[in-house]
Structure 1
Amino acid sequence: MTLRELFQQIGENPNFLLFYFLIIPSSAAIAGILGKDEGHLSPWKYLYATLIYLVSIPGIFAVALNAYFFLFQRGDVMQTDVYLQILPIIVMVLTIFLIRRNVDLSLVPGFDKISGLWFMLFTTMLLMWLLEKIHIVVFSYLPFQYLLVVFAVLFALIYLGWRRFIR
């Protein structure tokens, strides 16, 4: 099964995806009401960490997918899949906003890790876009699997550089 086939199947049957992206911000809103001013305490902060990870992974994937489609393949905006390319980003931002209203995100376990992942991903995508724009290496003509390898290598290099910078 290819990504295109998976996306097509999800587009034809979006019920599970819609349920998934509806239940997470709803859970964050309910937790915000029930745990008002207690978000930094033990059961709530782990719930918030779980919710952040549940929306961040698809949200980060959607951002990377959009960057690939629009920056490297020069895709048409009118062909954007709302369920897979827009909804995860909106739900991620909404969920983090709802959680942030009740707790300082630095108190949520693992939030520093996911924000580091966001930083590394966006830096890698920016670097790849800049390399593509100055035509040192033309990524748009590479097969997708080679682009993923280049992305992984750049990601690892940025990660190692970031770790050394922090120390």
Structure 2
Amino acid sequence: MTLRDVFEALSGQPLLLFLLLSAIPTGAFLINLWSGETAEDIWKWRYVYAVLVYLACIPGIFAFTLNIYLFLFERQSIWDMNLALQVLPILTMIATLMLIRRKLPFNYIPGFGKLSSFLTLIAAIMGIMWFIDRTRIYAITYVPFTYIVVGFVALLLVIRFAWNRIF
């Protein structure tokens, strides 16, 4: 089974996909109602909020990365977008994060910093890959592959260090 087969199976059942993805912001809304108003009550629910954030962000980040890949590398037309698979997870992620942000700052959610670091790393990798694809550096080279991998990892570490210093 390929990734294309999975996407075709999910596209065949858009109502089920919509129900699964809409359950996450609905859960965030309900938790906001049940968690109370005092800081102690909200603090008890922080792990539930963390689960909701990960449930929303993993498909959202995947869909966002997939969109970037399809538009930059595969040259997919925007008219050929699958709304259920390419847009709905991103909208779910945005809605869930906005609902949670109303109740609890993100720095109190366990593991949220790791998620933003992961997103930064994905963005850096996609940027480097796009740059290499556009300049065609990989066409002819006499440098051993291990040096290229070490340079790539070093470049990622520099980007991550710079990102942490900026923000």
| TM-score interval (norm. to shorter) | 0.7 to 0.9
Counterpart code for 2:110: P
Distance 2:154 2:13 in 1: 36
Q: Please report the TM-score for the alignment, with normalisation by the length of structure 2.
A: 0.80
Distance 1:23 1:39, change over 3 A: farther
Aligned residues: 154
Q: Please report the TM-score for the alignment, with normalisation by the length of structure 1.
A: 0.80
Aligned residue runs from structure 1 range 46-85, under 5 A: 46-85=47-86
Is the 8 Å Cα contact of residues 7 and 84 (structure 1) preserved in structure 2?
yes
Give unpaired runs (5+ residues) of structure 1: 139-149
Distance 1:19 1:38, change over 3 A: farther
The aligned residue for residue 3 of structure 1 is 3
The aligned residue for residue 136 of structure 1 is 137
Is the 8 Å Cα contact of residues 39 and 45 (structure 1) preserved in structure 2?
no
Report the alpha carbon displacement of residue 159 of structure 1 after superposing the two structures with TM.
5.5
The aligned residue for residue 146 of structure 1 is none
Distance 1:164 1:88 in 2: 29
The aligned residue for residue 107 of structure 1 is 108
Give unpaired runs (5+ residues) of structure 2: 140-147
Cα deviation, 1:39-83, whole Å, max 9, x if unaligned, reads 774431001100000011111110111111100010111111111
Q: Alignment RMSD, CA only?
A: 2.8
Is the 8 Å Cα contact of residues 124 and 155 (structure 1) preserved in structure 2?
no
* Residue from 122, 146, 156 that aligns with 1:158: 156
SS at match of 1:75: coil
Distance 1:159 1:114, change over 3 A: farther
Which is higher, the Rg of structure 1 or of structure 2? 2
Distance 1:65 1:132 in 2: 17
The aligned residue for residue 144 of structure 1 is none
